[in-house]
Amino acid sequence: MASRGGGRGRGRGQLTFNMEAVGIGKGDALPPPTLQPSPLFPPLEFRPVPLPSGEEGEYVLALKQELRGAMRQLPYFIRPAVPKRDWRRLPRELKIRVRKLQKERTTILLPKRPPKTTEDKEETIQKLETLEKKEEEVTSEEDEEKEEEEEKEEEEEEEYDEEEHEEETDYIMSYFDNGEDFGGDSDDNMDEAIY
């Protein structure tokens, strides 16, 4: 016990190996102690090598982005489904409203399908505004849907939204989606890059 207590004071600075063998000479300043985990983005000493560019690189890159977008549209991409409502607990009127809104939407969409005559400027802008409003509606609905299931009726619309649009619209699906599926692209413009 005595020697142990004494040894603690005496031999404290000794290491089990010869420092010189490893290359630290006597009197050399040791590097400062590490007091925290290394920074998340440590400064780079050397610039990274530039990425390969050129035809092959560009093509493979475009392929990659296209694939990503394409896979999202395939049936293999399973979107989280909305749980089934328990109809016994909800007022019946909510169910009917689903149909009504469905019809409403279809009628609004129909005039957007290519009519033969050219549209007025104002009409276009108006339509854009109504679409924007609807977009906001839908987005806000879908935002709430992510939270607790309080507004069940809005979730209704969300649910049938997907079904309806998968069948009937010729808009890009992501138009009405809640923004997670940013890879969607319009059917006509396949040469657009997918982000």
Q: Which residues bind another protein (CB under 8 A)?
A: 15-18, 21-24, 45-46, 48-49, 51-52, 56-57, 59-61, 63-65, 67-68, 70-72, 74, 76-81, 112, 114-116, 118-119, 121, 124-125, 128, 131, 135, 171-172, 174-175, 179, 182, 184-186, 188-189, 192-193, 195
Enter the tokens of residue 92. Answer: 């019946």
> CB of 39: closest distance to another protein in angstroms?
15
> CB of 172: closest distance to another protein in angstroms?
6
> CB of 36: closest distance to another protein in angstroms?
16
Buried b (16+ CB within 10 A) or exposed e, 59-98: eeeeeeebeebeebbeeeeeeeeeeebeeeeeeeeeeeee
d(CA 176, CA 142): 10
Cβ partners under 8 Å of residue 24, min gap 6 = 30
Nearer to another protein, 38 or 107 (CB): 38
